[in-house]
Amino acid sequence: MMNLNRVSQPVLALAVLLALTGCTGVDTVRLTSQQFPPKRSAEEVEVLQQVPACPHVALAELRIEDTSDGYGTMQQKMLDKAAGLGADAVVFAKPEQQIQHQVAYEPAMMGGPFGFGGFGYGGMMYGPYPYGMGYYGGYPAYGGAAVPYDVEVKSLKGLAIRYIPSAGPKC
């Protein structure tokens, strides 16, 4: 018989690691089919505020949106992605922030303290709704409350570039 503690510990450790690292990824749109060797680390990738005058190849457009990370963390994720693409620099656009208005629908408890119709029909034995969250999988037909809330969404865009060695202007 398998020891469940031995199996569940690595699974739990993986779940905690995923929760701590966050789920936000960098959206990447490749702009060239050229491949370059990755950089050893993001520290080798320059941070620029405007496109340089020297010759370069635009590798990819990078974008990240998040509701919890700060701009510094978002920028680091983009630099890590650019390093993996072999970029020499990332030209960052001005950070943006917007408020998204959203609505959550919360079920309303109706009837007595034991749900609809008392103890036997969706009461304490089966929860407030006898067949799940309302009829046909939605919230109950007898009521619910729309709860508006706002979410702050931060976004950051950048252009990953690779310098081209040439006799032209140097960076």
Question: Which residue ranges make up each domain of the chain?
Answer: 24-97+153-163
Q: Which of 104, 105, 77 is nearest to 92 (CA)?
A: 77
**pLDDT score recorded for residue 110:** 52
Percent of the chain at pLDDT > 90 equals: 46
Q: Which residue bears the tokens 């994720």?
A: 77
Model confidence at 43, pLDDT cuts 50, 70, 90, reads very high
Model confidence at 144, pLDDT cuts 50, 70, 90, reads low
CA distance 33 to 35: 6
**pLDDT score recorded for residue 168:** 63
CATH match for 24-97+153-163 among 3.30.110, 3.40.50, 3.30.2420, 2.30.30: 3.30.110
Does pLDDT of 87 surpass 60? yes
**pLDDT score recorded for residue 40:** 95
Does pLDDT of 115 surpass 80? no
State the DSSP H helix or E strand holding residue 82, giving kind and residue range, or none if neither: helix 71-85
Does pLDDT of 93 surpass 90? yes
pTM over 0.85: no
Q: Which residues contact 104 (CB under 8 A, 6 or more apart)?
A: 146, 147, 149
For residue 138, the Cα-to-chain-centroid distance in whole angstroms is 26
